[in-house]
Amino acid sequence: MIHELLLALSGYPGAAFTWSKRGGLQVWHGPGQNPPPPWPRLVPALRGLSVRPSVSHWCFPFQVSQELPFLHPSETSVLNRLCRLGTDYIRFAEFVEQYTGHVQQQDHHPSQQNQGGLHGIYLRAFCTGLDSVLQPYRQALLDLEQEFLADPHLSISHVNYSLDQFQLLFPSVMVMVEQIKTQKIHGCQILEAVHKHSCGGLPPVRSALEKILAVCHGVMYKQLSAWMLHGLLLDQHEEFFIKQGPSSGNVPSQPEEDDDDLGIGGLTGKQLRELQDLRLIEEENMLAPSLKQFSLRVEMLPSYIPVRVAEKILFVGESVQMFENQNVNLTRKGSILKNQEDTFAAELHRLKQQPLFSLVDFESVVDWIRSTVAEHLWKLMVEESDLLGQLKIIKDFYLLGRGELFQAFIDTAQHMLKTPPTAVTEHDVNIAFQQSAHKVLLDDDNLLPLLHLTIEYHGKEHKDAPQTREGPSRELSPREAPTSGWAALGLSYKVQWPLHILFTPAVLEKYNVVFKYLLSVRRVQAELQHCWALQMQRKHLKSNRTDAIKWRLRDHMAFLVDNLQYYLQVDVLESQFSQLLQQINATRDFESIRLAHDHFLSNLLAQSFILLKPVFHCLNEILDLCHSFCSLVSQNLGPLDERGAAQLSILVKGFSRQSSLLFKILSSVRNHQINSDLAQLLLRLDYNKYYTQAGGTLGRWTAVSSLFSWTMLHFRFKYGGSNLVPDYE
């Protein structure tokens, strides 16, 4: 019977010890006898237990019948205890055999993960580790066989004593196996599950689970080696914590601070908070989809690997992948890892051989590889590819740094962009842009071919389908035909390798949004200046009350637009650009440069109010009113007729209403000290308190202002001057 017992404990039941899927391993009760009712199986409580195993694994109907004459009651109890041990082993063996076979070759999409059952190389590694943990049990059975052959007088109690070390181990491991099966845990989530169960206080259990975890870590290190050293994402079953595609945006907040913190950066209090929430929502919608090729799959990231370390791993692999996939002579550029792939591979192999995972050693190796990649990219971008020069080009064209060029372009292209665009408008506009560049002596033969003005018109085919444009900028929906060429105008720039790593299509699209906004402000400013020129041409003619209203409105419009333009160019663009250059010159780390540039771009969008809908909408309404006013003045050089006077009255009321709304928003935010950007714009507009004294309204016509403006109008017409500006009042 001893050999029958050893065979049963090895997974081969026979006549005396039978096996059933429901009842497990049990002693035969004799002919015609039914087994007694099941009794609860006692399992030690495990620290961190988060799953309740199946009831069939907790209760087994295999008590030995008390009527068998050749078994003592104590032997029956011991056999029942050993049968439970053998039951666990058989189920372990079934689990290992089921999932250690060849990995399924079918594609596993996210929608199919719950339908396809358990799969993946991490599960296979878990089974391999589990099998290695069972090896001491099998060896113990072989040793028992040798001992019984040497001494036939040994009792069942000796078997129980020899296998007692597994009475704690097997139930604990079975709990984890049941958790994997019931919750369909796969991929790096298996690492998390094994790690949590290994934190218990039972040394045999902890030691065994650490062995299983080490085997599973071997798979992770192989994926890390392929990703960090070769830029290859070997993840057929979506098990790794890095994935291809944009982030799902559910990254949990981390208590840790980043290594290099570059920063990113009449109304009621409730309305102010809503304004700030709108800004944050717009910024998230516009900046979050950075359209990176790879991102973190946070749900697969084990808790003992911080997100900051995972971000470094993502950066290294993404950089290597982008570097090696370019159609350039890489032998001339050299390896991005400085030909240290073998050294780094040896370090990762050393970590793989460690019995216990050490976050300190792991992060040290990751930092070593990351610093090597970041320094090489910095040298390649800053020194060899002249990053500072490229940023200067971006500033000159996308941010209107070459103001004389765009002033000449506005004058040249004004007539062709007033009407809705056609198929030939884009060609004509680029000819005008080239002519404007020659006028201002911008004849760089290498630069101009990289710049191209684009016109989005109805029915245009997109060869390079642009990414979805988000944000509150006045973009045209695909079903809307642009009302004018100005509304459809954009700028594209051919980025040279390897600067494409920094200036991605998504980044250039955000620059394009800023470009359109700045150009619209500059165009309004030019039109208002043209209206002043018309005013000076007629200063010798007799004026009437309507003229005083008209020119006072122009002065107020010019006052607001000029200060807005000054705020954008000086307080935002120049200030942020100088900070960006300082941060680039202060580091030799490309990742820090990329973070600084992202911070710079997000600040441009935020401080120019593109992301703050209430302010941005109000400013756009003001610019539209200025356009309408300039059109009215240009079309009616003489005194306004009744229809023109009615249009002027509408413009006065509209401008007064929008300027009042703008003042209320700016003043309320300043009083609550929420947004320093809005406070800075208000400082520009209200530096001499004229805005405040006027009740926060510009362009409003009163009897006192009528008499004053008419008098000043005659005085200015006689002696010259460009502004009735609020500066002198």
Between 75-89, 98-112, 435-449, the lowest mean confidence (pLDDT) is in 98-112
Burial class of residue 728 (count of CB atoms within 10 Å of its CB; 0-12, 13-18, 19+):
exposed
Distance between CA atoms of residues 516 and 492, nearest Å: 12
DSSP-assigned states of every residue in 288-317: S----SEEE-GGGS-TTS-HHHHHHHHHHH
Q: Is there a contact between 626 and 528 (Cβ–Cβ < 8 Å)?
A: yes
Mean pLDDT confidence for 466-484:
49
CA 516, CA 502: separation in Å to the nearest integer?
Answer: 21
* Top-ranked range on mean pLDDT: pick from 88-97, 405-414, 658-667: 88-97
pLDDT tens string 287-302: 433 434 788 888 999 9
- Is the pLDDT at 256 greater than 50, yes or no? no
699 vs 492, higher pLDDT: 492
Q: Bigger pLDDT: 725 or 350? A: 350
Between CA 682 and CA 618 the distance in angstroms is: 14
Q: 454 by DSSP, 3-state: which?
A: strand
- The 8-class DSSP code of residue 112 comes to G
Report pLDDT for 213.
93
Distance CA 551, CA 532 (A): 8
Q: Which has the higher per-residue pLDDT, 336 or 103?
A: 336
Q: What is the model's pLDDT at position 23?
A: 52
| pLDDT over threshold 90, residue 116 | no
Lowest mean pLDDT among 399-403, 587-591, 691-695: 691-695
DSSP class of 283: H
CATH code of 389-728, in short, is 1.20.120.1900
pLDDT digits over 149-164, tens only?
A: 888 888 888 888 888 8
Are 145 and 162 a contacting pair, CB within 8 Å?
no
Q: How confident is the model at residue 335 (pLDDT cuts 50, 70, 90)?
A: low
Residue keyed to tokens 């002198």: 728
Share of the chain above pLDDT 70, in %: 69
At residue 112, does pLDDT exceed 50? no
**Which residues fall within 8 angstroms of residue 516, CB to CB, at 6 or more apart?**
473, 474, 489, 490
Structure tokens, 20: 């059933």
- Given a contact cutoff of 8 angstroms between Cβ atoms, the answer to whether 251 and 307 are in contact is yes
Cα distance between residue 42 and residue 617, in whole Å? 69
Query: Does residue 338 surpass a pLDDT of 60?
Result: yes
- Mean pLDDT in residue range 337-342: 75
Look at 153 and 281; give whichever has higher pLDDT. 153
Residue type, 227: W
Report phi then psi at 39, rounded to 5. -125, 150
Confidence of residue 698 (pLDDT cuts 50, 70, 90): low
Q: Which residues pair with 407 in a beta bridge?
A: none
Where in 374-479 does DSSP place strands (E)?
451-455
Residue range 12-22, pLDDT digits in tens = 776 566 656 55
Q: Which residue has the tokens 């704690």?
A: 168
H or E element, residue 60: strand 59-60
Domain ranges of the chain: 2-202, 213-385, 389-728
What pTM was computed for the model? 0.65
Position 255 pLDDT exceeds 70: no
**Concatenated DSSP letters for 605-634?**
HHHTTSS-HHHHHHHHHHHHHHHHHHHHHH
pLDDT, residue 713, reads 43
DSSP-derived letter for residue 302 is -
* Average pLDDT over every residue of 627-650: 79
